[in-house]
Structure 1
């Protein structure tokens, strides 16, 4: 009988000791309540002892929590309907406040993130959502971090994941981008033509001052064409030579007998098949 009592007492002692000793992991902190009152000292990692029945300890994870924010649908400032989802990275800095000041800090952070995301959609333009996400991420982080500071939670960063647009808006953006690329290509082509025309005008002025440059260019063109091993060689005929022949006057290197004088008819040579009639031939008498 005495041995059974001793064993029972030993079991109670072991149960008491087991309920009094707690293990706190490295990434956790223990918040102790004694008769419902918060103890100032937060238990660190390792073995820690509490008073059974009197004390209750809650463990709080201090690791960074990755919380996806469900896609929120809203209307931007330029009246475009979009769906935006994001990711919030946060961690608990004060374990006591995270337990005492808010009922469920995970749920609270999630709700604040959703409302802040809808608010940032309504304050932004579509172009900002598509191209200026860094500034929007910073604004969204500040909006979530302000109420979270009172809960002992620090928002590490917020990232907008995706922006879903209606199909009609996607087609409009594609047409706008295509028109912009077409405009740039035309401007570049026109600029190239302008620069080429200026260079050609400069080359023409140089060749006009020095005609030998035109002959050299002609020879280079002939060499380039001949290098292609073509059977036909085309030589350009300068227009200036035709103008020179057209404006040629008598006495400029042409024999004088070849040019008839004024008032004098040009004598044509007699045909070879006909014999010229002699001037001494007389008409026979009756």
Structure 2
């Protein structure tokens, strides 16, 4: 009889100790520096605690941990039709963190899932308003536009979107070949423009040089001699001597006068 009473008492004491241990384990919480605890009392929001040691009254109070570190989330590839009707696949990565633990728990059911879905729809919406060339060349502007929209809409959830980066813009083979042809045509256009500009500048400098040489005829002779020196130095078998236009003009006048002189004696003889 005494043995049964001692066993029952030992069992009761053991149960009390187990309950106290469970109570203490449930009451004391340790939050790291980057964690906060959203505490509810009988279902109502009470306060945000942490970091460090936090005491919770079991059954009456409950706590939800919230991580305040920056979260890197990969946005899956999205099928986007650009404004010029080009179908592409675009994926991105977003960086965000919780700045208000109370709103992140109370205002939205799962802030990670909500931010991911919002990022996907915003990515399709923003990129669909731009042409393909803008997607490829103006990524910084598109990143800023998407980040501003996400940050504005997630502000009510206590979330701060720090950055958005478009990772890849995948094109089909037909569009890649078309872009390659366009780039080649653009390079040819630039080459022709540069060549034309060079010809224009050269002609302007030649005009200025001719104006300078026309003021001093002796300078032309010096230029002739310099040219002959350069030709002789190259060991050419054929040398072309430049002939001044003034000499050709004088020679032409002489040849024009010779027929007139030949006709004058015949006229006198006839007389």
Normalised to the residue count of structure 2, the TM-score between the two structures is: 0.82
Residue 80 in 1 paired to residue 86 in 2?
Answer: yes
Q: Give the superposition deviation at 1:14.
A: 3.0
Q: Is the 8 A contact 1:21 1:48 kept in 2?
A: yes
Q: Give the superposition deviation at 1:8.
A: 5.2
- Structure-2 change in CA distance of 1:211 and 1:99 (3 Å): same
Residue in structure 2 matching 1:45, options 48, 51, 57: 51
Residue 213 in 1 paired to residue 222 in 2?
Answer: no
Q: Give the superposition deviation at 1:106.
A: 0.5
1:56-93 CA-partner distances (Å, limit 9, x unpaired): 21100001111111111021111111111111111111
Cα RMSD over matched residues? 2.9
Q: Is the 8 A contact 2:40 2:61 kept in 1?
A: yes
1:171-222 CA-partner distances (Å, limit 9, x unpaired): 2222222222212211221222122223223333443443211210112123
- In 1, distance between residues paired with 2:202 and 2:237? 30
Partner residue, 1:187:
193
1:154-180 CA-partner distances (Å, limit 9, x unpaired): 211212222122222222222222222
- In 1, distance between residues paired with 2:145 and 2:175? 25
- In 2, distance between residues paired with 1:149 and 1:204? 72
Greater radius of gyration (CA): 1
- In 1, distance between residues paired with 2:123 and 2:18? 56
Residue 17 in 1 paired to residue 27 in 2?
Answer: no
Q: Is the 8 A contact 1:76 1:124 kept in 2?
A: yes
- In 1, distance between residues paired with 2:20 and 2:254? 136
- Structure-2 change in CA distance of 1:206 and 1:53 (3 Å): closer
**Residue aligned with 2:210, SS:** helix
Q: Is the 8 A contact 2:224 2:242 kept in 1?
A: no
Q: Is the 8 A contact 2:127 2:142 kept in 1?
A: no
Residue correspondences, number: 256
Q: Give the superposition deviation at 1:232.
A: 4.5
Partner residue, 1:61:
67
Per mean C-alpha deviation after superposition, the further-off stretch among 143-152 and 204-213 is: 204-213
- In 2, distance between residues paired with 1:245 and 1:31? 109
- In 2, distance between residues paired with 1:245 and 1:105? 98
Partner residue, 2:105:
99
Q: Is the 8 A contact 1:226 1:233 kept in 2?
A: no
Partner residue, 2:176:
170
- In 1, distance between residues paired with 2:11 and 2:141? 73
- Structure-2 change in CA distance of 1:189 and 1:60 (3 Å): same
- In 2, distance between residues paired with 1:237 and 1:108? 85
Residue 27 in 1 paired to residue 34 in 2?
Answer: yes
Partner residue, 1:129:
135
Q: Is the 8 A contact 1:225 1:233 kept in 2?
A: no
Per mean C-alpha deviation after superposition, the further-off stretch among 130-139 and 17-26 is: 130-139
Greater helix proportion: 2
- Structure-2 change in CA distance of 1:220 and 1:99 (3 Å): same
Structure 1: tracts of 5 or more residues without a match: 250-258, 264-286
